[in-house]
Structure 1
């Protein structure tokens, strides 16, 4: 069985983030932010991928598994998570190539699906994980960090 981690960097410094993923043996980060930029500079794509590389952790950005800006804006405004997840689940189901790429990364080495939100139940990475589970031939063990 493949284990797939999910992680949000909200509330973390780069140091505490690296400590967390390394403590769980994560060898690859699958970034599912549509736009991999952050107000925390250490988590913006270029600097983040360099810090991960320095720690011996691989990095892949899969833009197709990100949340489109209109949906991000709408859920921030309404906090209507059931509607948000229904729309995200449909969008993720329509991304077979990106889901396959994410599954291959997770099968090759311990990997974590990354986004911003600390709470997985408020993050679109739950839709990504559900779509990966549907696309996988075998069950995935999901662990939220």
Structure 2
């Protein structure tokens, strides 16, 4: 199983900065792949792009990358947040979107190994980061092992 790529996911809400950074460091994460549509105005100050990039590098030597094509569109996100669509519809629309974008062509398996997909949702169940991870596992490499940090 040494050929397995370890891909992590994490959300920052309902976590203190200490919990968040310790989870990443203890898990051996080497790179954060930010999947948020808006990475500059979040409730948790430590999760704003510039601050996050600094803390990741300073505390854990962790690289920061923002891939906007891993995020939902404003319309899909708005419709879901305003309860105009349910989770099943959101999931179908988002999966269609990332397939159209061919996101598997935007990152190499090497860059994914020990990377962590980041968004704001506390848990991965109803979160697009899980959908991105599962899509990459299916379309990029079935040797990707997904770990949800909580």
Structure 2 length-normalised TM: 0.87
The residue number in structure 1 matching 2:107 is 101
8 Å contact kept, 2:13–2:122: yes
**How well do the aligned residues superpose, as a CA RMSD in angstroms?**
1.7
Matched, 1:119 2:119: no
Gaps of 5+ in 2: none
The residue number in structure 1 matching 2:94 is 88
SS of the counterpart of 1:112?
A: strand
1:1-145 correspondence to structure 2 within 5 Å = 1-37=4-40, 38-55=42-59, 56-78=61-83, 80-97=86-103, 99-101=105-107, 103-107=109-113, 110-145=114-149
8 Å contact kept, 1:33–1:115: yes
Moved more, 50-59 or 74-83: 74-83
Structure 1 length-normalised TM: 0.90
Aligned length: 143
Aligned-pair CA distance for 1:9: 0.6
8 Å contact kept, 1:9–1:118: yes
SS of the counterpart of 1:120?
A: coil
Aligned-pair CA distance for 1:102: 5.8
Of Structure 1 and Structure 2, the greater helix share is in: 1
8 Å contact kept, 1:3–1:141: yes
